[in-house]
Structure 1
Amino acid sequence: MEETLKNPTRPRAEKNYPASPVGISDFERIVGEGYYYIDKTLLAREIWEAGQIILITRPRRFGKTLNMDMLRCFFEKRSKSRRHLFENLEIGQHPEYMALQGTFPVIWLSFKDIEAGDWESCFKAVKWRVREEYKRHEPELSGALDDYYQKQFRSILDDTGDEVDFESSIQWLSKFLSDVSGKRALVLIDEYDIPIQTAQKNGYYDRAVSFFRNMLARALKDNPCVEKGVLTGVLRIARESLFSGLNNLDVFSILDEKFSDKFGFTDSEVDRTLAYFGLGDRKDTVERWYDGYSMAGTRVYNPWSIINFLEKRKTKPYWINTSDNALVYDLIQRAEPVIQRKWEALLSGRAIRGVIDENIVFSNLHDSVDALWTVLFFSGYLTVESAVDESLHEYRLKLPNLEVKECFKSSVQRWIRSAGGADHLDRLPEALADGDGETFRKSLQNLAETVLSFHDMGGDEPERVWHVFVLGMLVRLEKTHRIRSNRESGLGRYDIMLIPRRPEGPGVVLEFKKLRKNEEPKRALQRAFEQMDEKKYAAELDDFNAGRKIAFAVAARGKRVWVDKREWGGEAVWG
């Protein structure tokens, strides 16, 4: 990941703008050194007014770490006051809450980036984070504890304690701080679920859940030394009993109205920011690329992408490129017809119906379609278009913006490349746009043999797999064609249509058919052409003044594919 540091001498447009804080989550540095900051300080008020133990879930890179560091700076009592950081911000206009500034001991832990391949490495990383927090508080606790508690303190700081000791480490630190300061501590734990997600992928899930369940329960359940506890993460991991001991936990997800405008940038915030940076004329483009998230009805933009756009002044995938997008890659490779149909709809810009289960079970991810949509939703790859039945947790879901859509399409190409089909990535879409039926057929057949497994193609709807497969590849043609799928044209719905962006350019319609029992390939292809004629699929191409109007029929049986091509107004050509 590229991080850009502040350079106050670098010109931006016609004046020197403050640097956008790309990769910086240090609140004191951002405000103190004059980086551009979109004010979220009223989160401190909302946190204070909420319950004792709070979990807030948001997608990665949505400002969780910066907001948590802001809370630390606001509430924490230190020898050097931080009050000046807040006086000109929104929370500074509320004296009743400013009275809380700098009055509590704070325990601050972030499990961000703890992505270890085994439990031993994970535990080592967790211990390091905990020991660093103990070291941060050493000046105020050194010499203030009696011999018994001093021994406990040193066992963590010097790394002589065992696993059980580290399970109790947050609880111990809260008591030490409370006893010495005379006030209950605030506990802030950022990205609590990163180690759990990594453990699931790497086979030490049960060990990790056991450790973190004990650590969180001892720290946050009925602890008289804790004033408030705030956790952030992407997912709520509840059914695995990670929070089974916490009967005082309030959870606020992206489906809840509370905190809905505190993570991510609202439309008005983006308007003001673009205008300030002299980029107001780019609003429509920025909106298509990075808007589209609905937080309980509040419309927000992806903050990581906006900050990077301010820095580089180019619209391209920023947020997507901070992850390996393994969830999307997994979705592509799954062959269940229901997943293929819904993925096809998403790529085509349509919404799907899905059940969102806030109590995610990682072990069910490969067994439950609902679990898959849930993880994609809470991870930021899907957003709510509308509620179908909130009592059943059923919603209409869609891709939020162009950045995420590009991720889905590029993941198809990654799949093809990893399976040895890279040579055909350019050849197949170009042949399609040029009306080269023979090259299109050969490329499609070769890709089937090198990329698509028998399992992929052996179901009841192989034509859907072909449809999704080709649709994902056609992203390479978006500069010259609009790509549409399963849209109304004439009297029916075509499978895929390429509409030329320039008048008189070639337009293409594709129709996929599964071979019926004992059916000859030529007959299946003829059925496709008959449907295209009967439903008048060329009507939309006529509306866009396409020059050549090319029809491709594709018939499939398992991994075997047949292709025929014809042009409206011309003769059919067997491929």
Structure 2
Amino acid sequence: MGGVLRKLPIGIHDFEKLRKGDYLYVDKTALVWRIANIGKTYLLTRPHHFGKSLLLSTFKAYFEGKKELFEGLAIAGMEKDWSKYPVLHLDLNAEKYETPDDLLAMLNQHLEKWEAVYGDEKREWNLEGRFGYVICRASEQFGCGVVVLVDGYDKPLLKALGNDALLDDYRKTLNAFYSVLKSSDRYLHFVLLTGVTKFAQTGMCNDLNQLNDISMMSQYATICGITQQELEDTFMPALNQLAKENELTYEETLNKMMALYGGYHFCEFVEGVFNPFSVLNVFDGYKFSNYWFQTANPAFLVELLKKREYDLRTLIDGIETSVSSFTEYRVEANNPIPLIYQSGYLTIKDYDKRFGNYLLEFPNDEVRYGFMDFLVPYYTSVVDDERGFYLGKFVRELENGDVNAFLTRLQAFFADFPYELNEKTERHYQVVFYLVFKLMGQFTGAEVLSARGRADAVVKTPKYIYVFEFKLNGTAEQALQQIDEKGYLIPYQADGRELVKVGVEFSAEKRNIDRWLY
């Protein structure tokens, strides 16, 4: 698909602008045609920055009959008629949504735009009345059904999470507005709502339950995101340039792209996709970085995890769960997992046919280490700008064999803990250890092991293999003794690197690491 100079559509969500500007485009139009021609009302959920806005814009161009924009794409060989329909495109993404009036103003703004075209005789009616009237008038004027496309249908609700009164207000307003889609059914040709969450199934709007939710259907699993084949077909020159700039082979580059940005599965047993936002950005400057994660703000999710006293270690290692427990988010249920999944921080990695259970894990290293790094200030006294500094020092100290410096620095992680050591806080300490060692894992191959019969943590550096055992209610001597008695070193004895046993004890009184022996 062209040479190196084809433009990257970074920040471009308008299909017409993308096509007329000769930007690179990953052709999803075969799926667009299929969805448009076999059903009528749909819901599609995907994480933010996953191509939903561009997808809706593609549907808009298709239903407006703009045949010339689709030349050379799959749909050109599929569509014969190119009929034109009236399209009402509602984009709820732009507003901050801090007061009830913000949502009313946004809906009013769209209604006024439509009324200027289809008639504003009912402008003194309420919002839903005006919406219904516009749909009816558009249908009459065109002599056919109307197409309604809603981008970010749940955006106001997501912005109001944590503010129950505002959330309730938005829910009532949107309930009334979206209910028009059911009452106006005879005037509608096609409806597609996109968003991040599935509020529709949770009392958000019972009238939306008639929507066909295609979010986890295998035939549409790749409609947002980029498959490996699409990556190689569309971005081959960019991949070669990325390899060259980073002194990697093509194969190594592809593997690194997969490790960092691939691995999203929106249905069991289907191929994974790459995050389109990170893919475009890595080709912009030819540097590997956490592009998507930097645009995310999981603060609300982390607060939810803390409030629930959720054991982070299960989140980090992967969660086995039934489908309902990660697709149906209910605010009052206070279960953070559905929202964490829908926001793109967890994805489907395996499926147990027999019991119908899914394994949810971080999709890739960008999300894994980004999320864990984000957690550190919430569970320790370390502030944002110190995290990278600490991590780099930790790794270098162990690489240099300086156990004392490493554990002295680790003490700083536990400073200023706000509560007494008890069963609850015992897990808190374990989680902090877990985070530190897991974050080091990206540089040292650190493993944190919770199974009995294995040490608490193992860290491998070029010269050393460290085996750590921590005692919350015991001594450093007992920790070392346990390493010997349980044979924790045995798996590493043939390795050739120097083996270092480290026994660490906690003091309930000091609420910190107190002594260590190695």
TM-score relative to the length of structure 2: 0.87
CA contact (8 A) 2:200 2:208 kept: no
Aligned partners of 2:56, 2:384: CA distance in 1, in Å? 45
Alpha-carbon distance change, 29 to 361 in structure 1, aligned in 2, over 3 angstroms: same
Q: What residue is the counterpart of 2:71 in the other structure?
A: 87
CA contact (8 A) 1:53 1:230 kept: yes
Which of 284, 302, 305 pairs up with 1:311? 284
Which of 355, 362, 383 pairs up with 2:331? 362
Q: What residue is the counterpart of 1:486 in the other structure?
A: 449
Shift of 1:25: 0.5
**Runs of 5+ consecutive residues of structure 1 not aligned to the other structure:** 1-13, 156-160, 366-370, 516-520, 568-575
Which of 321, 335, 352 pairs up with 2:319? 352
Aligned partners of 2:510, 2:42: CA distance in 1, in Å? 51
Aligned partners of 1:379, 1:70: CA distance in 2, in Å? 23
Shift of 1:272: 1.7
Which of 232, 240, 245 pairs up with 1:271? 232
Q: Tell me if 1:415 matches 2:378.
A: yes
Q: What residue is the counterpart of 2:96 in the other structure?
A: 115
Per-residue CA deviation, residues 22-74 of structure 1 (Å, 9 max, x unaligned), is 11111011111110000011232222234322111111111111010000000
Q: Tell me if 1:326 matches 2:299.
A: yes
Give the 5 Å matches for 1:459-538: 459-460=423-424, 462=426, 464-474=427-437, 477=440, 480-486=443-449, 492-500=453-461, 502=462, 505-515=463-473, 521-522=474-475, 525-538=476-489
Alpha-carbon distance change, 335 to 44 in structure 1, aligned in 2, over 3 angstroms: closer
Per-residue CA deviation, residues 128-179 of structure 1 (Å, 9 max, x unaligned), is 34434545xx2xx4xxx5xxxx422xx3xxxxx4xx6223333222112111
More deviation, 551-560/217-226: 551-560
Give the 5 Å matches for 1:84-483: 84-94=68-78, 97-99=79-81, 101-135=82-116, 138=117, 141=118, 150-152=120-122, 155=123, 161=124, 165-203=126-164, 204-246=166-208, 248-253=210-215, 255-279=216-240, 280-281=250-251, 282-296=253-267, 297-298=269-270, 299-330=272-303, 333-334=306-307, 336=309, 339-343=311-315, 346=316, 350-357=317-324, 358-365=327-334, 371-388=335-352, 394-415=357-378, 426=390, 439-440=405-406, 442-450=408-416, 452-454=417-419, 458-460=422-424, 462=426, 464-474=427-437, 477=440, 480-483=443-446
Per-residue CA deviation, residues 254-282 of structure 1 (Å, 9 max, x unaligned), is x3213112111112111223424342441
Q: What residue is the counterpart of 1:158 in the other structure?
A: none
Aligned partners of 1:386, 1:45: CA distance in 2, in Å? 30
Per-residue CA deviation, residues 523-558 of structure 1 (Å, 9 max, x unaligned), is xx3332222112333345545443362414233538
Aligned partners of 1:111, 1:418: CA distance in 2, in Å? 38
Alpha-carbon distance change, 417 to 403 in structure 1, aligned in 2, over 3 angstroms: same
Q: Which amino acid aligns with 1:174?
A: I
Shift of 1:377: 1.2
Of the two, which has the highest radius of gyration? 1
Shift of 1:205: 0.9
CA contact (8 A) 2:153 2:194 kept: yes
Identity of aligned residues (%): 22
Shift of 1:340: 3.2
Shift of 1:320: 0.9
Aligned partners of 1:122, 1:26: CA distance in 2, in Å? 23
Alpha-carbon distance change, 390 to 362 in structure 1, aligned in 2, over 3 angstroms: farther
CA contact (8 A) 1:57 1:235 kept: yes
Per-residue CA deviation, residues 483-515 of structure 1 (Å, 9 max, x unaligned), is 211178xx9322222111x2xx23322222331
CA contact (8 A) 1:506 1:550 kept: no
**SS state of the match for residue 192, structure 1?**
coil
Per-residue CA deviation, residues 357-407 of structure 1 (Å, 9 max, x unaligned), is 233212222xxxxx311111121111112223687x632111110111121
Per-residue CA deviation, residues 395-433 of structure 1 (Å, 9 max, x unaligned), is 211111011112122213343687659668626666566
Q: Which amino acid aligns with 1:230?
A: L
Q: Which amino acid aligns with 2:433?
A: V
Q: What residue is the counterpart of 1:9 in the other structure?
A: none
Shift of 1:460: 4.7
**SS state of the match for residue 229, structure 1?**
strand
CA RMSD, 1 decimal: 3.0
Aligned partners of 1:404, 1:294: CA distance in 2, in Å? 14
Alpha-carbon distance change, 24 to 556 in structure 1, aligned in 2, over 3 angstroms: farther
CA contact (8 A) 1:429 1:474 kept: no
Q: What residue is the counterpart of 1:554 in the other structure?
A: 505
CA contact (8 A) 2:7 2:23 kept: yes
Aligned partners of 2:7, 2:441: CA distance in 1, in Å? 33
Q: Tell me if 1:41 matches 2:35.
A: no
More deviation, 476-485/224-233: 476-485
The aligned length equals: 499
Tell me which protein shows more helix as a share of its residues: 2
Aligned partners of 1:41, 1:326: CA distance in 2, in Å? 36
Aligned partners of 1:286, 1:564: CA distance in 2, in Å? 42
Aligned partners of 2:232, 2:368: CA distance in 1, in Å? 23
**SS state of the match for residue 199, structure 2?**
coil
Q: Which amino acid aligns with 1:530?
A: Q
Per-residue CA deviation, residues 288-318 of structure 1 (Å, 9 max, x unaligned), is 1011111222211111111112222222111
**Runs of 5+ consecutive residues of structure 2 not aligned to the other structure:** 241-249
CA contact (8 A) 1:185 1:226 kept: yes
TM-score relative to the length of structure 1: 0.79
